[in-house]
Amino acid sequence: MANEHASKQYDLDLGAIRTRVLQMGGLVESQIRRAIDGLASGDLAALEQVIDDDHRVNAMEVALDGDTSHLIVRRQPAASDLRMIFAIAKTVTDLERIGDEAQKMARMAKAIHERGAAPLPPAVDVRHAAEAAIAMLRRSLDAFARLDCEAAQGVIRDDAGLDAEFRAILRQLITFMMEDPRTISTALEIVWIAKAIERIGDHAKNMAEYVIYIVRGTDVRHTRSPQPGA
Amino acid sequence: MANEHASKQYDLDLGAIRTRVLQMGGLVESQIRRAIDGLASGDLAALEQVIDDDHRVNAMEVALDGDTSHLIVRRQPAASDLRMIFAIAKTVTDLERIGDEAQKMARMAKAIHERGAAPLPPAVDVRHAAEAAIAMLRRSLDAFARLDCEAAQGVIRDDAGLDAEFRAILRQLITFMMEDPRTISTALEIVWIAKAIERIGDHAKNMAEYVIYIVRGTDVRHTRSPQPGA
Amino acid sequence: MMEQLLATKAEARSLSFYYGDFQALKGISMPVHERQVTALIGPSGCGKSTFLRCFNRMHDLYPGNRYDGQIILQPDNTDLLARSIDPIDVRMRIGMVFQKPNPFPKTVFENVAYGLRVRGERSRRAVEEKVEQALHDAALWDEVKERLHQPAYNLSGGQQQRLCIARALATDPELLLFDEPTSALDPIATASIEELMHDLKKRVTILIVTHNMQQAARVSDFTAYMYLGELVEFGVTDELFIKPQKKQTEDYITGRFG
Amino acid sequence: MMEQLLATKAEARSLSFYYGDFQALKGISMPVHERQVTALIGPSGCGKSTFLRCFNRMHDLYPGNRYDGQIILQPDNTDLLARSIDPIDVRMRIGMVFQKPNPFPKTVFENVAYGLRVRGERSRRAVEEKVEQALHDAALWDEVKERLHQPAYNLSGGQQQRLCIARALATDPELLLFDEPTSALDPIATASIEELMHDLKKRVTILIVTHNMQQAARVSDFTAYMYLGELVEFGVTDELFIKPQKKQTEDYITGRFG
Amino acid sequence: MHRKHQDVVFALVGIVALMVAVLTFLTLFVNMAVDGLPRLDWHFFTSFPSRRATQAGILSAWVGSTLVMLVTAFFAVPLGVASGIYLEEYARKSWVTDLIEINITNLAGVPSIVYGLLALGLFVYQFGLGQSILSAGLTLALLILPVVIVATREAIRSIPQVIREGSYALGATRWQTVRYHILPYSSAGILTGIIIGMARAIGETAPIITIGALTFIAFLPPAPLKAEPPFVSFDWLMSPFTVMPIQMFNWTSRPEAAFQDNAAAAGFVLVFMTLAMNGLAIWLRYRLRRNIKW
Amino acid sequence: MAKATAALHGTAYLASRRARHIRERLIEVLLFFAALISVVTTVAIVYVLVKESVVFFEQVPLRDFLTDRQWTPLFDDAHFGIVVLLSGTLTSSFVALAVAIPLGTIIAIYLSEFAPYRLREMVKPVLEMLGGVPTIVYGYFALLFVTPLLQKVMPGLPGFNLLSAGLVMGIMIIPYVSSISEDAMRAVPMALREGSYAMGATRFQTATRVVVPAAFSGIASAYILGISRAVGETMILAVAGGMQPNLTFNPLEPAATITAYIVQVALGDLPHGSVGYQTIFAAGLTLMLFTLACNLAGHVLRKRFREAY
Q: Whole-angstrom Cα distance, residue A227 to residue A229?
A: 6
The least confident of E77-91, E279-293, F132-146 is: E279-293
* Contact flag D75-F1 (C-beta cutoff 8 Å): yes
Q: Which ranges constitute the DSSP H helices of chain D?
A: 48-54, 87-93, 108-118, 124-137, 141-144, 157-169, 187-200, 213-219, 237-242, 247-253
In a domain, D185, yes or no: yes
Interface probe with C: pick from A1, A5, A7, A147, most Cβ of C within 10 Å: A7
Q: Tell me: do F131 and F262 sit in the same domain.
A: yes
Q: Do E146 and F114 touch (CB under 8 A)?
A: no
pLDDT tens digit string along F252-286?
888 999 999 988 888 877 777 788 888 889 999 99
Partner residue facing D174 (CB), from F1, F17, F20? F1
Cα of B137 to nearest chain D Cα, Å = 27
Q: Are chains A and B touching, using the cut-off of 8 Å on CB pairs and a minimum of 3 such pairs?
A: yes
Among the listed residues A125, A124, A123, A140, the one whose alpha carbon sits nearest the alpha carbon of residue A200: A140
Assess whether the previous peptide bond of F148 is cis (omega < 30° from 0).
no
| CA distance linking residue D54 with residue D79, whole number of Å | 12
Residue B121 has pLDDT above 90, yes or no: no
| A79 in reach of chain C (CB within 8 A) | yes
| pLDDT of the residue at A228 | 39
Instruction: Identify whether D258 is part of a domain.
Output: no
Is residue F10 domain-shared with residue F130, that is, in the same domain?
no
pLDDT of F8 reads 47
Whether E249 and E78 have beta carbons less than 8 Å apart is answered as no
**Residue B83 in contact with partner chain D when CB distance is under 8 A:** yes
Question: Residue C101: is its pLDDT beyond 70?
Answer: yes
Task: Indicate yes or no: CB of B69 within 8 angstroms of CB of C140.
Answer: no
Whether the per-residue pLDDT at B6 is higher than 50: the answer is no
- In angstroms, the separation between the Cα of residue F215 and the nearest Cα of chain C is 9
Q: How far is D237 from chain C (nearest CA, A)?
A: 19
pLDDT at C94 over 60: yes
A29 vs A141: CA distance, rounded Å: 10
Tens digits of residue pLDDT in B48-66 = 999 999 999 999 999 999 9
The 10s digit of each residue's pLDDT in C116-166 is 998 888 899 999 999 999 999 998 999 999 999 999 988 988 899 999 999
Residues B87-110 pLDDT 10s: 999 999 999 999 999 999 999 999
* pLDDT at residue F196 in the model: 93
**A72 within 8 A of B71, measured Cβ to Cβ:** no
Task: Report the number of distinct structural domains present in chain D.
Answer: 1
Indicate the pairing of strand D205-209 with strand D175-179.
parallel
* Average of per-residue pLDDT values in chain D: 91
Residues F165 and F184 in one domain: yes
Domain ranges, residue C111: 2-253
Measured CA to CA, the distance from residue A21 to residue E6 in angstroms comes to 73
Of A3, A76, A82, which has the smallest distance from its Cβ to C242's Cβ?
A: A82
For chain E, percent of residues with pLDDT exceeding 90: 37
Average pLDDT, chain F: 87
Pairing of strands C175-179, C94-97: parallel
Sequence-separated (6 or more) residues with CB below 8 Å from residue C115? C167, C168, C170, C171, F199, F200
Alpha-carbon span B56 to B64, nearest angstrom: 12
Instruction: Answer whether D187 sits within 8 Å of C258, measured CB to CB.
Output: no
**CA–CA dist F198, F210 (Å, integer):** 13
Exposed, middle or buried: residue C2 (CB in 10 Å: 0-12, 13-18, 19+)?
A: exposed
- Chains near B (3 or more Cβ pairs under 8 Å): A, C, D
Tens of pLDDT along D78-134?
Answer: 999 998 888 999 999 999 999 999 999 899 999 999 999 988 888 899 999 999 999
Chain E residues within an 8 Å CB radius of C119:
none
Closest residue on chain E to D173 (Cα): E170
Q: Where are the domains of chain E?
A: 59-214+223-239+283-291
3-state secondary structure E149-184: HHHHHHHHHCCCHHHHHHHHHCCCCHHHHHHHHHHH
Residue C258 lies in a domain: no
Residue of D nearest to B85 (CA): D242
What pLDDT is attached to residue F18? 83
What does the pLDDT read at residue A218?
84
Nearest Cα of chain D lies from the Cα of F6 at a distance, in angstroms, of 10
Determine contact: A4 vs chain C, CB below 8 A: yes
Q: Is the CB of E74 inside 8 Å of chain F's CB atoms?
A: no
pLDDT at site F2: 40
Per-residue pLDDT of chain A (230 residues; tens, 9 = 90+): 333 444 678 888 899 999 999 999 999 999 999 999 999 888 999 999 999 999 999 999 999 999 999 999 888 888 899 999 999 999 999 999 999 999 999 999 999 998 876 666 777 789 999 999 999 999 999 999 999 999 999 999 999 999 999 999 999 998 888 888 888 888 889 999 999 999 999 999 999 999 999 998 888 887 754 343 33
- The CATH number assigned to the domain holding D232 equals 3.40.50.300
Query: Which pLDDT belongs to residue B225?
Result: 42
C91 has a chain F CB within 8 A of its CB = yes
Supply the Cα-derived Rg of chain F in whole angstroms. 26
A1, A4, A11, A17, best to mutate vs chain D, most D CBs in 10 Å: A1
F180 and F299, same domain (yes or no): yes
Mean pLDDT score, F91-117: 93
Where is average pLDDT lowest: C191-195, F204-208, F267-271?
A: F267-271
**Which residues on chain C are in Cβ contact (under 8 Å) with F308?**
105, 153
- Count of CB pairs separated by less than 8 Å, B with D: 39
E181:D104 CB<8 A: yes
Q: Is the pLDDT of residue B3 over 70?
A: no
CB-closest option in D254, D257, D258 to B78: D254
Q: What is the pLDDT of residue E126?
A: 86
Q: Mean pLDDT throughout F188-211?
A: 92
* Nearest residue in chain C measured CA to CA from F113: C61
* Nearest chain F CA: its distance from C89 CA (Å): 7
Q: Do A7 and C256 touch (CB under 8 A)?
A: yes
ipTM above 0.85, yes or no: no
Closest CB from C186, C211, C213 relative to D43: C186
> Which range has the top average pLDDT, A134-143, C246-255, D180-189, E37-46?
A134-143
CA-closest candidate to residue A229, choices E44, E270, B192: B192
Q: Is the pLDDT of residue B129 over 90?
A: yes
Interchain pair C238, B6: CB under 8 A: no
Q: Is residue C20 part of a domain?
A: yes
Q: D186 vs C211: CB contact, 8 Å cut-off?
A: yes
d(CA B194, CA C20): 79
Asked whether the predicted pLDDT for residue D17 surpasses 80, the reply is yes
Instruction: Pick the residue of C41, C44, C210, C226 with the most D CBs within 10 A to test the interface with D by mutation.
Output: C44
* Alpha-carbon gap, residue E182 to E167, rounded angstroms: 10
Alpha-carbon span A215 to C143, nearest angstrom: 50
For residues B10-24, give the mean pLDDT.
93
How many Å apart are CA C52 and CA D241, to the nearest integer? Answer: 36
Which pLDDT belongs to residue B229? 37
Of E209, E196, E79, give the one whose Cα is nearest residue E136.
E209
Confidence at B219, pLDDT banded by 50, 70, 90:
confident
pLDDT at F161 over 80: yes
Q: What is the tally of structural domains in chain F?
A: 2
**Residue from C60, C61, C88 whose CB has the most chain E CBs within 10 Å, to mutate:** C88
At C34 the pLDDT is 94
Q: What percent of chain D has pLDDT above 90?
A: 67
Note whether F17 and F130 are same-domain residues: no
Q: Measured between alpha carbons, how far is A111 from A183 in angstroms, rounded to an integer?
A: 13
Mean of pLDDT values over E36-63 = 85
D198 with A9: Cβ contact below 8 A: yes
Do residue A74 and residue D218 have CB atoms under 8 angstroms apart? yes
Q: Which residue has the higher pLDDT, D86 or B116?
A: D86
Domain hosting F276: range is 67-308
Amino acid letter for position B8 = K
Mutate which: C57, C88, C176, C179, vs F, most F CBs within 10 A: C88
Query: pLDDT, tens digit, for every residue of E72-99?
Result: 999 999 999 999 999 999 988 788 888 8
Query: Per-residue pLDDT tens for B144-154?
Result: 999 999 999 99
pLDDT at D19 over 60: yes
F17 touching chain D per CB within 8 A:
yes
Mean pLDDT confidence for D52-59: 94
Give pLDDT, residue F309: 52
- Per-residue pLDDT at F174 exceeds 50: yes
Contact A9/D194, CB-based, under 8 Å? Answer: yes
Q: In terms of DSSP H, where are the helices of chain F?
A: 2-9, 11-59, 62-67, 82-109, 117-132, 135-141, 147-153, 162-187, 190-198, 203-205, 212-214, 216-232, 235-240, 258-267, 275-308
Q: Selecting from 3.90.1300.10, 1.10.3720.10, 1.20.1250.20, 1.20.140.150, what CATH number does the domain E59-214+223-239+283-291 have?
A: 1.10.3720.10
Residue E292 confidence (pLDDT): 63
Quote the pLDDT of residue D258: 57
Please answer yes or no on whether C171 and F199 come within 8 Å at the CB atom. Answer: yes
- For residue D39, is pLDDT > 90? yes
Domains and CATH numbers, chain B: 2-216 (1.20.58.220)
Q: With pLDDT > 90 as the criterion, what percentage of chain B qualifies? A: 68
pLDDT of residue A4: 43
Q: C56: number of CA atoms within 13 Å, CB side?
A: 31
Tell me the CATH number at F103: 1.10.3720.10
Is the pLDDT at B119 greater than 70? The verdict is: no
- For B:170-229, CB contacts with D below 8 A are 217
Pick among D84, D93, D175, D205 to test the F interface (most F CBs inside 10 A): D93
Q: How high is the pLDDT of residue C258?
A: 57
- CB-CB under 8 Å, C257 with D188: yes
**How far away is chain C from the Cα of D43, in angstroms, using its nearest Cα?**
7
Q: Which residues of E touch D61 (CB under 8 A)?
A: 164-165, 168
The verdict on A7 touching D (C-beta cutoff 8 Å) is yes
Spatial contact of D97 and F25, defined as CB atoms under 8 Å apart: no
Q: Same structural domain for residues F53 and F71?
A: no
Mutation target for E interface from F137, F229, F295, F305: give the one with most E CBs within 10 A.
Answer: F137
What's the predicted TM-score (pTM) here?
A: 0.83
What pLDDT, on the 0 to 100 scale, is given for residue F1? 39
Residue F300: the pLDDT is: 81
Residue F8 sits at the chain D interface (C-beta within 8 Å): yes
Q: Are residues F227 and F93 in the same domain?
A: yes
Give chain C positions within 8 Å (CB) of A1: 258
- Any idea of the CA torsion for B190, B193, B194, B197, to the nearest 10 degrees? -170
Closest CA to E288 of E190, E143, E169, E170: E190
Q: How far, in Å, CA of F32 to CA of F29, rounded? A: 5
Query: CA of A61, closest CA in chain B: separation in Å?
Result: 9
Mean pLDDT of E199-216: 85
